[in-house]
A and B are shown apart, each in its own frame.
Chain A
Amino acid sequence: ELKVEQNPLFLSMQEGKNYTIYCNYSTTSDRLYWYRQDPGKSLESLFVLLSNGAVKQEGRLMASLDTKARLSTLHITAAVHDLSATYFCAVDLSGGGADGLTFGKGTHLIIQP
């Protein structure tokens, strides 16, 4: 059974600081996704990581994937209030999307001025 663990589950940080969210998973997979969810809203796709060593950046967010360590990270640089949200990682066990995604429990991020 695939397990996806995120940590921390809750993070309060100040604007301007850097921090990293970690996503560990229990079974080999080459495909990992990061999503953002605002309160009461749907999930917004942030990154799709498709191979070992993949790194993607968008604005103040950067995601990476180490398939050998079964670890993905989401790094936040110089955080701003607008990044406050819940962030989910999800793993595609089948490699082709056919078996759905297994999600972590999410990291609730609050960025304070």
Chain B
Amino acid sequence: NAGVTQTPKFQVLKTGQSMTLQCAQDMNHEYMSWYRQDPGMGLRLIHYSVGAGITDQGEVPNGYNVSRSTTEDFPLRLLSAAPSQTSVYFCASSRLTSGPYEQYFGPGTRLTVT
């Protein structure tokens, strides 16, 4: 199993540009989520999904969109990039129907917005 994969690993955007961060998992996990990590802030939940066709907002959803058309994929879209979105983004997945609900994290995408 590849686990949770993310692309790209690094990205530089200009203010106002849009882009999609890709996330895929091959563990047949129902639950997928996106976090951002900023220095000294820990990780903060952006959006999450409990299954295909179902998404919901986390703590910091503004400026981001998600969709979940398949169990495997959960892309994160930045609509109009802003410098405040400079961060490291992690995708995670876990089971929901049986424990221990441990979340497995992807390798991360380091995004810089200039």
A positions within 8 Å CB-CB of B: 4, 31, 33, 35, 41-43, 45, 48, 50, 88, 90, 92, 96-106
Contact = CB atoms under 8 A, between A and B. Distances in A.
Interface stretch (B17-25, B67-75, B76-84, B95-103): B95-103
Main secondary structure of the interface of B (DSSP, over half): loop
Contact of B48 (A4, A96, A100): A100
Contacts, number: 60
Nearest to B58: A100
Interface band, chain B: 20 to 34
A97 B94 contact: yes
Contact of B99 (A33, A50, A90): A50
Contact of A88 (B43, B94, B104): B43
Contact of A101 (B45, B95, B99): B45
B2 interface: no
B104 A103 contact: no
B34 to A, nearest CB: 9
Most chain B CB within a 10 A radius of its CB, from A35, A41, A88, A96: A96
B41 A105 contact: yes
